[in-house]
Amino acid sequence: MFNATQHRGNPNLGPAPPGQPNHRLNEIMDSLRAEFENQSRASEQVENQVAQQIQEMELIRNKVYQLEQNQLKMKQDYEAEIRMLRHELELRGGPQVQSHLAGPPQHGGPAQAPPSLGHGQGGLFSGIMANQGQGGPGLAPPPEQPPQQQHPLQAPPPAGQPQGPPQPPNSFPGYQQGPTLNGYAPQPQPPTNSPGLGKNRTMAARGGPGPATPQQHPNQPQPMPYQNDPRASPQIPRPTPPGSDLQLGPRHQMPTQGQYPNVGNVLADLNPDDLPDHLKRTGPNGEWHAVFNPNVPRVLDIQLLHNLVHESVVCCVRFSNDGKYVATGCNRSAQIFDARDGRKVCELLDESVQDKDGDLYIRSVCFSPDGKLLATGAEDKRIRVWDIESKRIRTTFDGHEQDIYSLDFSRTGRLIASGSGDKTVRLWDIESNQQVMVLSIEDGVTTVAMSPDGRYVAAGSLDKSVRVWDCSSGYLVERLEGPQGHKDSVYSVAFSPSGRELVSGSLDKTIKMWELSPQRSLVPGSAGKDGKCIRTFEGHKDYVLSVCLTPGGEWVMSGSKDRGVQFWDPNTGNAQMMLQGHKNSVISVAPCPTGHLFATGSGDMKARIWQYTTWRGAHQGI
């Protein structure tokens, strides 16, 4: 019979008995460990060298940009002096000299600041406010431009370089040549994809029906990344509204001075250097500036309170109802800041997400009315409701089939409205943790808002229209579109404090104010269209991405891809002020419900808290 004891004891029949070390195995393990440590040290050295080289390249780029800027300034000064001397010669009766400055200069200097090299593989922010292929945390795409409209566009730089907002001509330096995260160049055809926050993912990588950015024309082929820049805005020059066409209210009478350029509401065309002190406001070190409409009396002043730096694009900002806190949504996390001192209070990060390395942008954040909960909507199609105090997820809502772009709590705090690229608006009950209503439309939903009384939900869509439903019945009671409506996709909607008006912002670069019908239809299928557009605000030079009203309804605020924030008088349609401070698209603007504060979020990876007050000069008759 086989003796197991003898077998285990014989070194020629098997491994060494338990307890005796295997020296050969230990030697191999030690060798592997030493090799791994050597490779780790070598990898760290290579990473340090790469980081140092990137830093040196950035310094060189910035130096070249500064040299070009200096050369451009010298050229402008030279040309100005030539014009002055020629004018003086003509005044003295000398012979007229043919000007070589009559035509456009052959070289106008750098069109934009040197592009940043970005962070992470491929440059994470190379797709800010864009959609490369069908991927990205971008908002939904605009509809295709009519083929007969030919406008000069701007083309992408070589693959791998980040891109940014276009640089339109004849604008002040804050818009034309401000340092950006991205660069631009001319492009041959209108965009067909999103101006939203794209990422470096190809169409094939996205795959399947997943959370792809919704397409206005899904059956038409979409351009591949970098072939035709999908984020470039058509440079459609708008005719400057004549000063006589400005609507003048009792507090906005035309001043008698005629020495300022008449740009109407296109305040981006004002150069701060050419304005007197009472028509501009500049932050320390020129970090930001505001220009005030010379055609209407200045009544506002502006001040930057806090600069909230993030590690990624800031997709959304929102105040709590008590005005004490500001929430922001960025890549993979939502963050909450104290509005008084700018201190970060907490960061909400879902550690259960399986993909730890990929991007997961938070597109929308919203506080519950009591300030205890924060709802977040992301590109993974999921709504998370966080308990802020414990920093834990209280509830998750699944049901959307594409990215979630917008959220809003009802006044009671029981319902959450959500809008998604899957062409639906959905209502969720926070108490029963159930979906209670699905409102379907013909195209992707980009924005939702609950009315102040909680009875209605409004939504903007890629199909250029704004819809309003009754929350209890689900009946469509308003459809705001047609000849008075927007000419391009609607990206933002907001109710007035009274609930009788609604403002919308669009890729057609305008904001519209709608007067809602007092007796909204409650008949199924009636699709009431009684609301009318009572005012159109024109002045932005690029897509309008966010709109809102101040708590008392005194001002309409808008954020745009032109990097500006504008204050508008809702009674006259006149622009009061244009604020420039962000170095990329202003994606989100939110008012403080309790005071004269507002927050902005941008593609430059910053959120900011601002304060607007009554200008002291308004009481002194300046």
Instruction: Tell me which residue of 285, 339, 335, 346 sits closest to 310, measured CA to CA.
Output: 335
Mean pLDDT of 129-148: 43
Strands, E assignment, 195-275: none
- Tens-digit pLDDT profile for residues 70-79: 888 888 888 8
- Radius of gyration, alpha carbons of the chain: 29
Q: How confident is the model at residue 302 (pLDDT cuts 50, 70, 90)?
A: very high
Whole-prediction pTM: 0.63
* Separation of alpha carbons 90 and 40, rounded Å: 75
Give 251 or 247, the one with higher predicted confidence. Answer: 247
The fraction of the chain above a pLDDT of 70, given in percent, is 67
- The mean pLDDT of 193-222, rounded to a whole number, is 38
DSSP code per residue over 427-458: EEETTTTEEEEEEE-SS-EEEEEE-TTSSEEE
- Which listed CATH number (2.130.10.10, 3.40.1790.10, 3.40.50.720, 3.40.50.10140) goes with 258-310+541-622? 2.130.10.10
Q: What is the pLDDT of residue 355?
A: 82
Rounded to an integer, what distance in angstroms lies between the CA atom of residue 134 and that of residue 321?
A: 36
- C-alpha pair distances (Å), 516 with each of 181, 237, 521: 40, 32, 11
Residue 17: what pLDDT? 58
Contact criterion met (CB below 8 Å) for 484 and 532: yes
Q: Where in the chain is the domain with CATH 2.130.10.10?
A: 258-310+541-622
594: confidence class by pLDDT, cuts 50, 70, 90:
very high
Is residue 513 over pLDDT 70?
Answer: yes
Give the span between the Cα atoms of 68 and 74, in whole angstroms.
10
pLDDT digits (tens, 9 = 90+) for 309-365: 999 999 999 999 999 999 999 999 999 999 999 999 999 999 998 888 889 999 999
